[in-house]
């Protein structure tokens, strides 16, 4: 019984891998240029949000220091 079950699991694993490879062939992969463009967009957006949060943090820290002074 254990051998039959292990063969069944092995077939299931092989079937899963086969189907996964078939699905990955259907994916529309981005071009190298698109990857670079979207990488730059993410970096610029992250820098903008970081600067914004840094300014807000600085202003709130100054305000509460002045308030509680």
What's the rounded Cα separation, in Å, for the pair 45 and 43?
5
What's the rounded Cα separation, in Å, for the pair 69 and 67?
5
pTM of this prediction? 0.61
| Domain carrying residue 44 | 2-68
pLDDT one-digit tens code per residue, 34-63: 999 999 999 999 999 999 999 999 999 999
Whether the CB-CB separation of 38 and 30 falls below 8 Å is answered with yes
Q: How many domains does the chain have?
A: 1
pLDDT reading at 11 higher than 60: yes
Alpha-carbon distance values, 37 to 6, 16, 27, 32 (Å):
47, 34, 19, 9
């Amino acid at each position: 019984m254990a051998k039959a079950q292990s063969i069944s699991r092995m077939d299931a694993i092989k079937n899963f891998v086969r189907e996964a490879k078939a699905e990955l062939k259907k994916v529309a992969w981005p071009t190298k240029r698109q990857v670079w463009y979207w990488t730059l967009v993410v970096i610029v957006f992250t820098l903008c949000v970081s600067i914004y949060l840094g300014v807000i943090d600085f202003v709130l820290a100054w305000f509460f220091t002045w308030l509680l002074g």
